[in-house]
Structure 1
Amino acid sequence: MFRNTFSMKQFRHRLAYGEALPQMVILGVLCGLVCGLVLGLFRTLLETPLEHLLPNQQSENFEGLPTWLHFLLPIIGSLVLIAILSRVTPLNRKVGITHLLERMAYHQGYLPITNAIIQFFVAVLALLFGHSVGKEGPAIHLGAACGSQLGQRLNLPNNTLRILVGCGAAAGIAATFNTPLAGVVFAMEVVLLEYTVIGFMPVMVSAATGALVVQFMFGNAWALTVPTMQIESLHEIPYVAFLGGIIGLLAVAFIALMRAAMTWSNKSTLGYKSRLMLAGLITGIVAIFYPQVMGMGYDTVTSALQGDIGFGLLLGILIAKCLLTPIVLGLGMPAGLIGPTFFIGAMAGGLLGLLGGVAVNQTVAHPGFYALLGMGSMMAAVTNAPMAALVAILELTGNPNIIFPAMISIVVSNLIARYVFKMPSIFVISMHLQGMDYCYRPLTQMLNSASVQRLMNQNFIKSDTVISAQGAAKALESSPSWLLITEQDTYTLLSPGDLHTAIQKTHSDEELIDLLKVPALRLDTRTLDSRATLQQALDLMAEHNVEALCIETSTQDIIGLLTRDQIEAFYREN
């Protein structure tokens, strides 16, 4: 009995019913540990070579390289990426947050391990060779893939798998920025699209565990060095709102340019090899004049936060990064855009901070304060994740004085992008350009959160097609809800009441009854894996125009029955 209570079978059984909070917390810890180790290795492979190869042993000091390397490095990087990607199939080249959202929307969170491995290496190489991209998108994909693979290896139900993907995504953000709470909010806001206790708790534990593992490996250093700053006067609030509006316009331009680049890529006769070479060439040309656009650029962001970059250089870097990053990403560079949005927001905010004193004709906050507001506003408007952006800059600063002005600038920037220009997030646009529908449907979310095992009816009797009256009477003694008629590889459900009526019409106990011919309510069925969600069940019913399903294990044993009426009753009650 003790063994059965703590068996893996019982563990899976509890998870299928959606109320297994202790089990989900355990899985969250395991997911965070795995994600932390993978992302720690990712960071090591990225930073160690750069520290040895770049001047002054600084992993982001691309500016210290000679000009000819600024031009050649991205081109060489594109050649290396082409050599790797040419050896894998087009399906395995799909990486990043868009790929993650696709797998969540259409594949119940089953993320292939091959795509994650490709993401790991191509993201490292793109950043090593100075491409103008970020590591946050790859980190989220890698974290989510770790969670998904953990669920797949343990053969867990699909409703649990989706939460584990959210756990991994949160751990990815937490391990990258050392901002666990921002990771939690991003996972709930963008990946899972819901806030529930059963989802929130394991995601929170996973993010904290992932951040702890990376802190143990690399220390408790922040990704960015942010000085303590605050708003000087409430008279600056209108200017903060103005900053939010400008950043909103900048986000719209970023999204529009990236959408145009993706549209052109989809329609162009150029193959992915030519597009990657074009991305490398464009990056090399821009880097000749502004090498700060190369790589992640956290050193440049830190300088902007410190107020160490002059107006002219800020403006040049801003224009270069705003034009370069959406184009190379739209051309198919397999890396992230969250880091670049932080970079662009910091440059734009720093510029507005320098102009602030002239604009309001009085003492204003440090330019770095506005750079910080710009970071949060740009990320929020491009990714449609305002809460995640707000929490991220709060955790980066550890300064509650940032909350009020940040809320204003983030709200304004999102209003400009979402409601004035009707721009969805860049991830949704990317999915639409690939012909995929992606939108929030509360009913779908609810049905995806529950396993078929939660509702399936296990009170049934299996029967052959032809049965004697005596055998039929004996089968009805246990008062089953359904009779499952087995004929070769097909299953049909028969109402017990109709069988009882058929028995009364027989003349002897030995008389045979053909269960497929007697007048009765019969339901055709299809089989469905026991790990499936209620949404998958409903989709299968619609696809085959049936009203019932047989729930089977991996060994093809029928363990339960599920009808459309049961699903409809579930979502009416919830």
Structure 2
Amino acid sequence: MMSLISLKKRLALPKTSWQLCVLAAIGGAMSALLIILFTLSIKALQQFYISAKDDYTTLDAVSRFDLPIIGALLILIFSRFTGYQYLRTGIPFVLHRLKVAHGIIPLRNTLNQFVGTVIALASGFSVGREGPAVHLGAACSSYLGSVLKLPYNTIRTLCACGIAAGISASFNTPLAAVIFVMEVILREYKVHIFIPVMIAAIIGSMITQSVFGPAHAFEFFDKIQISIAEYPFIVLLGVFIGILAFVFNRYLTLLIQHSSNIHIIPRFLVAAFITGSLGFAIPYAMGSDIGAITFSINNEQTFELLFGLLIAKMLMTISALGLGIPGGIIGPIISIGAIAGICASTIAGHFIPSEHLHTDFALMGMAGFMAATLNAPLAALLAVVELSNQIEIIIPALIVITSSCVVSGQFLNNRSVIIMQLEVQNLLYRKPPIEKSLQRIGVIGTMQENFTLHQQLSAEDILASPALRNSQDFIISKQSGDDNPFIWFEITQVEEQTNIVAHQLIPLSSQATLAEAYLLLVKYRRGAVAIYGDTQHELLGLVTFEQIRQYLLEGKITP
């Protein structure tokens, strides 16, 4: 018991520790294995009706129309048993849970995420794998922390580790996974979090490589050959991508906002009808993998056909995600960005003839569109570098990313689509700066343990006892039959006079952070909270308001 308490004390402090690194590795491995099961489930389901993964062209037109409708009905049937209210999934939901529940994910949401997204991806909806990877990874690692009853700040870190492992396992991009967690999920860079997240991402990538091999998704691309003379066209591509990102984010969030009051059943059926109708005419737009990209690159298509594919892909993605189909957004926006880049290359080809123009602009479009839609330029850059396995892409990709983000953000007031989704769904994702700072420290790591516990003690008893009056320990009295059984007698000496103030200690779980302690005490700006173990009558220590005030003023806290 004492060793477990000592472990929790160590993990409660915002410092790098080998214990946290070991937990990150375990959580990362659990998350990666779940993602592998998720990926294999999609592949196994698709084998029943298509010859190759995500190749919906092998289906006849009527089957392409029917497949999304059947998929939507299966998702609805499963969610009928687990509860429609647990259909909130994906990156926005995980961000919300990080703020309101320290990253602890309800089981039913996780079940709906796994089963629902497997069906959605297998039935041709234009949704991605990374949203489920984030959700499933977070759920796996936070479950580990919950079982061990670790401090909430540690569970939050483990949640971030699971997210990194999930993304790394899905795309074999460990570095992009780490930056995505820091730039999009946590939105802060702290060394004590950064190292465990890196370990989890490495573990996720290694486990994936042992099952699926070391290849990346876009290694088939030709080596990029963009010259300095082509950079002005790259800037124009970034402008186009920035405008497109604004349109995508705007209409996706509008659809979420205006459809929120409609029951989930008609919403899903409308999304399935739109996907089926567009898939009937344009099968390459179905799914979220690389089918649409390879079709656009490997065939000399006209601008009209490519632009039609771009519009169809955007409509499919907006309708599926906007109407609540479970799945992620990054996979589709990578495809949309690539198709948009290829569309632009057909026009630029009249001015700069090049055999590699399609593939060059496709990669540039991926980077620019991902950066502008997510407002995550660094994560977008590293994702494209790792997916294509080309270091030469960095300079031109930076040009596209900066131009697209400036146009989208400054001139069109576009923001991260994930943050926009949270706002239109009224999901809390921000905390006041004080609470955000205090969330990093667990109360069990800072609690005062130098206390003496007495039964039914009173202020008169203390005044009558010189030993109690002069004690250096905190004097605690345990009262019987009380919901708040502990009283702390604060003793101060003013000249030769002894002043005693009795504070009713507010019970607080040892898993809590200083943020919860602060919220309980800030109204009174004095007193303390009683840190308990399994029950409220098991006193482990206390945290005073003075300790919290000291941390807020000086940046350090002393137990």
Provide the TM-score with structure 1 as the length reference.
0.90
Give the share of equivalent positions with the same residue, in percent. Answer: 33
SS for the counterpart of 1:520 is: strand
Q: CA deviation at 1:190?
A: 1.4
| Aligned counterparts, 1:367-386, within 5 A | 367-386=358-377
Query: Equivalents in 2 of 1:547, 1:91: separation in Å?
Result: 40
**Which residue in the other structure is 2:21 paired with?**
25
Given candidates 492, 495, 508, the residue that maps to 2:487 is: 492
Q: Please, which runs of 5 or more residues in structure 2 have no aligned partner?
A: none
Given candidates 537, 550, 555, the residue that maps to 1:569 is: 550
| Aligned counterparts, 1:356-505, within 5 A | 356-358=348-350, 360-361=351-352, 363=354, 365-439=356-430, 442-463=433-454, 464-466=456-458, 468=461, 472-481=465-474, 483-484=476-477, 486=479, 488-490=482-484, 491-497=486-492
SS for the counterpart of 2:492 is: helix
Q: Which amino acid aligns with 1:51?
A: Q
Residues 414-458 of structure 1 deviation map (CA, whole Å, 9 limit, x = unaligned)? 222222222221221121122234347654433211111232222
Residues 51-96 of structure 1 deviation map (CA, whole Å, 9 limit, x = unaligned)? 3421xx3111101210001111111111111111122234422211
SS for the counterpart of 1:166 is: helix
On the 8 A contact 1:167/1:202 being kept in 2, the answer is yes
Matched, 1:344 2:336: yes
On the 8 A contact 1:74/1:131 being kept in 2, the answer is yes
Q: Which amino acid aligns with 2:231?
A: I
Query: Equivalents in 1 of 2:434, 2:225: separation in Å?
Result: 43
Query: Equivalents in 2 of 1:33, 1:362: separation in Å?
Result: 48
On the 8 A contact 2:16/2:191 being kept in 1, the answer is no
On the 8 A contact 1:301/1:343 being kept in 2, the answer is yes
Given candidates 505, 509, 532, the residue that maps to 2:512 is: 532
Query: Equivalents in 1 of 2:316, 2:462: separation in Å?
Result: 79
Query: Equivalents in 1 of 2:522, 2:550: separation in Å?
Result: 17
Query: Equivalents in 2 of 1:209, 1:59: separation in Å?
Result: 26
**Which residue in the other structure is 1:516 paired with?**
none
Matched, 1:289 2:285: no
Query: Equivalents in 1 of 2:368, 2:167: separation in Å?
Result: 18
Q: CA deviation at 1:209?
A: 0.5
**Which residue in the other structure is 1:42 paired with?**
38
**Which residue in the other structure is 2:317 paired with?**
325
Indicate the larger mover: 87-96 or 129-138: 87-96
Query: Equivalents in 2 of 1:499, 1:485: separation in Å?
Result: 27
Q: Which amino acid aligns with 2:27?
A: C
Indicate the larger mover: 460-469 or 63-72: 460-469
Residues 480-538 of structure 1 deviation map (CA, whole Å, 9 limit, x = unaligned)? 24545646222333222269978x7xxxxxxxxxxxxxx63343432111111112222
Say if 1:46 and 1:530 are closer, same or farther in 2 by CA, change over 3 A: same
On the 8 A contact 1:304/1:368 being kept in 2, the answer is no
Q: CA deviation at 1:311?
A: 2.8
Q: CA deviation at 1:547?
A: 4.3
Indicate the larger mover: 413-422 or 128-137: 413-422
Query: Equivalents in 2 of 1:421, 1:528: separation in Å?
Result: 46
Aligned residue-pair number: 550
On the 8 A contact 1:307/1:366 being kept in 2, the answer is no
Q: CA deviation at 1:544?
A: 7.9
Given candidates 151, 154, 157, the residue that maps to 1:160 is: 154
Matched, 1:180 2:174: yes
- Report the RMSD for the aligned CA atoms in angstroms: 2.4
Q: CA deviation at 1:345?
A: 0.3
Indicate the larger mover: 16-25 or 330-339: 16-25
Residues 227-277 of structure 1 deviation map (CA, whole Å, 9 limit, x = unaligned)? 23324321222211211111111111111111111111124xx31011111
On the 8 A contact 1:233/1:364 being kept in 2, the answer is no
SS for the counterpart of 1:53 is: coil
Provide the TM-score with structure 2 as the length reference.
0.92
SS for the counterpart of 1:457 is: coil
Q: CA deviation at 1:183?
A: 0.6
**Which residue in the other structure is 1:559 paired with?**
540
Given candidates 55, 61, 75, the residue that maps to 2:69 is: 75
Indicate the larger mover: 112-121 or 535-544: 535-544
Query: Equivalents in 1 of 2:297, 2:168: separation in Å?
Result: 21
Say if 1:313 and 1:297 are closer, same or farther in 2 by CA, change over 3 A: farther
Query: Equivalents in 1 of 2:220, 2:377: separation in Å?
Result: 20
Given candidates 247, 267, 292, the residue that maps to 1:300 is: 292
Say if 1:215 and 1:310 are closer, same or farther in 2 by CA, change over 3 A: farther
Query: Equivalents in 2 of 1:60, 1:158: separation in Å?
Result: 40
On the 8 A contact 2:146/2:155 being kept in 1, the answer is yes
Residues 176-229 of structure 1 deviation map (CA, whole Å, 9 limit, x = unaligned)? 111011111111111122111111111111011111111111222323344233
Query: Equivalents in 1 of 2:47, 2:524: separation in Å?
Result: 58
Indicate the larger mover: 148-157 or 43-52: 43-52
Q: CA deviation at 1:364?
A: 8.0
Say if 1:423 and 1:537 are closer, same or farther in 2 by CA, change over 3 A: farther
**Which residue in the other structure is 1:271 paired with?**
263
SS for the counterpart of 1:146 is: helix
Query: Equivalents in 2 of 1:250, 1:365: separation in Å?
Result: 23
Query: Equivalents in 2 of 1:540, 1:249: separation in Å?
Result: 47
Q: Which amino acid aligns with 1:25?
A: C
Query: Equivalents in 2 of 1:416, 1:559: separation in Å?
Result: 55
Query: Equivalents in 2 of 1:203, 1:420: separation in Å?
Result: 35
Say if 1:361 and 1:550 are closer, same or farther in 2 by CA, change over 3 A: same
